[in-house]
Structure 1
Amino acid sequence: MSSFAVPVPDPAAHAAAVERLDGLVKPLGSLGRLEELAAWLSAAHGVVPPRPLDDVRVVVFAGDHGVSAQSAYPREVTAAMVRVFLAGRSGVTVLAAQVGASVRVADLAVDWDASDVPDEVTSHKIRRGSGAIDVEDALAAGEAQAAFEAGRTIAAEESGADVLIPGDMGIGNTTVCAAMVAASLGLPAAEVVGAGTGVSGGALARKTAVVATALGRAAGRSTDPFERLTALGSACLAATAGFLVEAAMRQIPVVLDGIFSATAALVARDIAPGAERWWLAGHRSTEPAQAFALKALGLTPILDLGLRLGEGSGAVQAIPTLRAARAIIAEMGLLADLA
């Protein structure tokens, strides 16, 4: 039984939003998904029209993985990219600036000497790197719970936001996510493994074999979400799950990014059923595992741009669409007011 009593988005606000949208100066339902999003935001904010989406915050959860050898890039890139985030030169920091969103980095398990980075980056660190899931558990006993609680704390620290976006950075992320989605939904490795950072041919076959081996090693441990995280996940994935649950508890709308946040959302939903009502899928990833995860969560991506960068970059691109959805319900005229 879940210990989380997740609030429900305001049904009265949703109904009032639908009524107003139907009365706007346009044919009924003619603005399609924008109308659905406007009603969703109204319910999430508990008011019609919803609040302006002025305070948008991205939190990038970073960590290294023992299966990073399957990637097209070396493990050291994770630490190097954290420094790029801090310098404001990463993909998500550049794209976030275009929509006025802030970007924060949280090191949960990067394998590096971080003595020269701000304490706020490493204040929730759990360990340096995760285990290679094909031969050992990703986390030690108790670390999944500790990382989950760290994610909850991070969400609490960002509780003033109008929208939260979980980002990710970690070489090997897609391998871990493929294993977690497969274990969560009972799927074979071959159906969930994708190209990730760009592997193909023999490298893709080896990645699939690693995921299949990991699933076999962890067989029987997938029913409990924390056991699943311990066997196949990572500290950064567990922290993202905690972040998503706490955001829902605090009634803060979340826009999911790609495969990493969708995988964390599957786990978070198992820990706190109903939390998924506070999440939107920002974009469709090229990773096959994301499609399975979103279908299980009942979420439809807002955008489909062929993105696979991660970092929160795709979710950031959905913010202008959400602002447009808010604008129609806040600023369009009513048919009843026509002369």
Structure 2
Amino acid sequence: MSDLPEFPAIVAPDAARRERATSHHVELPAGYALPAGSLGRLEQLGAWMAACAACSSSSGESSAESSSAESTRLIIVTGEHGIAAAHPEISTLPAELSSLVTEAIESGASPVASTARSLNVDVKLVDANSSTSSGEIDHEDALTVAQLAEYLQKGMDLADAEADQGTQLLAVGDAARGLTTVAATVIGSLCGIEPVKVVGWGSGIGDMAWRTKTAIIRDAMYRVRDDRADALQVLRRVGGADLAVLTGLLAQAAVRRTPVLIDGVGVLTAALCAQMIAPGSSDWWVVASKGNEPAITPALSALRLSPVLDAGISAGQGTGALLAVPLVRHAAEVFSG
């Protein structure tokens, strides 16, 4: 697939700056009573933000910018999956989910909108493919090569726009009917996990729907059994437009040295693909929350990432990422020395 975008080598966050941020904290007067490591994940997040800021700039050159995360944007990518249209029983969510999510957020009525507003986080909604669903993955490819290239580039353009605007922290969420089915298929394929161990109950389906969902994942995984080492092929054949946009966004954010809070099984699926096509990208990400889908565990293990929050949040739309923003901001402030 030579027509697909290629990503340059990823520059890792500044290790020396990470160490200096931690050392600065350790060297505080003894009266603070804060020995090294006593702040746990807060210390890790602060050092990570400092390391990212030290080598981030819109030009890609090293700089000594502030590790503040005040300029934060939440990007929510919505999509349409043909498998959900063909088998509506695999999701309790309405067919018009994408438009409903858009209306609720734009009106300011949704919990995501109100939370973002309280945190002074701008929200950008990205419609991946509302005009045409991805293919039915149990018997046909989700995307053509041309479509995959288009959607990857769409995600890359999003990352470039945020870097050019000086966004200091990206939070990324997902919203799509049938997404947990597709995500489980991609993660199961790339991680070599049998279908029954990655399939979940998604939006709260019943037993019969769970069996149908498992059969779909089984058949889709069988179709790509020889492509497991090729993330782009798996993404094209059993993924979807929204996952391709998210993959391009996450990989290009790492290229542009923009730290990202990832949230949701769809975003995590894209992260797994992005790390495979642009190794080192995961150094620029933090997983905000774990969620309840079984496929999340092997994906986290493959990426060697652990969630900041483990509160059973599986609402999607970047909900967990928003809730993690105050912690990241506070960590960046504490360890900015």
What TM-score, normalized to structure 2? Answer: 0.89
Q: Is the 8 A contact 2:7 2:252 kept in 1?
A: no
Unaligned ranges ≥5, structure 2? 1-5, 55-62
Q: 1:6 aligns with which of 5, 10, 19?
A: 10
Tell me the residue number matched to 1:101: 121
Q: Is the 8 A contact 2:70 2:329 kept in 1?
A: no
Q: Deviations over 1:202-228 (max 9, x none)?
A: 211211111111111222123222211
Task: Tell me, in whole angstroms, the C-alpha distance in 1 between the residues paired with 2:252 and 2:7.
Answer: 12
Tell me the residue number matched to 2:309: 303
Please give the root-mean-square deviation of Cα atoms over the aligned residues, in Å. Answer: 1.8
Tell me whether 1:16 sits opposite 2:16 in the alignment. no
Tell me the residue number matched to 1:87: 107
Tell me the residue number matched to 1:211: 217
Tell me whether 1:56 sits opposite 2:76 in the alignment. no
Matches within 5 A, 1:109-258: 109-111=129-131, 128-159=132-163, 160-258=166-264
Tell me the residue number matched to 1:42: 50
**What secondary structure is seen at the aligned counterpart in 2 of 1:67?**
helix
* Number of residues of Structure 1 aligned to a counterpart in Structure 2: 315
Q: Is the 8 A contact 2:143 2:237 kept in 1?
A: yes
Q: Is the 8 A contact 1:245 1:268 kept in 2?
A: yes
Task: Tell me, in whole angstroms, the C-alpha distance in 2 between the residues paired with 1:89 and 1:228.
Answer: 37
Task: Tell me, in whole angstroms, the C-alpha distance in 2 between the residues paired with 1:27 and 1:108.
Answer: 47
**What secondary structure is seen at the aligned counterpart in 2 of 1:9?**
coil
Q: Is the 8 A contact 1:49 1:326 kept in 2?
A: no
Give the CA deviation at 1:49.
9.3
Q: Is the 8 A contact 1:176 1:233 kept in 2?
A: yes
Cα gap change, 1:48 to 1:323, in 2 (>3 Å): farther
Give the CA deviation at 1:330.
4.2
Task: Tell me, in whole angstroms, the C-alpha distance in 1 between the residues paired with 2:314 and 2:36.
Answer: 36
**What secondary structure is seen at the aligned counterpart in 1 of 2:82?**
coil
Q: Deviations over 1:125-157 (max 9, x none)?
A: xxx111111121111232112111110001111
Q: 1:31 aligns with which of 8, 18, 39?
A: 39
Task: Tell me, in whole angstroms, the C-alpha distance in 2 between the residues paired with 1:153 and 1:3.
Answer: 13
Task: Tell me, in whole angstroms, the C-alpha distance in 1 between the residues paired with 2:242 and 2:50.
Answer: 31
Q: Deviations over 1:154-206 (max 9, x none)?
A: 11111121101121111111111000100111111111111111113221121
Q: Deviations over 1:253-292 (max 9, x none)?
A: 0000021111000000011000110000001111111121
Unaligned ranges ≥5, structure 1? 112-127, 332-339
Percent of residue pairs identical:
35
Q: Is the 8 A contact 1:259 1:287 kept in 2?
A: yes
Q: 1:291 aligns with which of 290, 293, 297?
A: 297
What TM-score, normalized to structure 1? Answer: 0.89
Task: Tell me, in whole angstroms, the C-alpha distance in 2 between the residues paired with 1:222 and 1:155.
Answer: 27
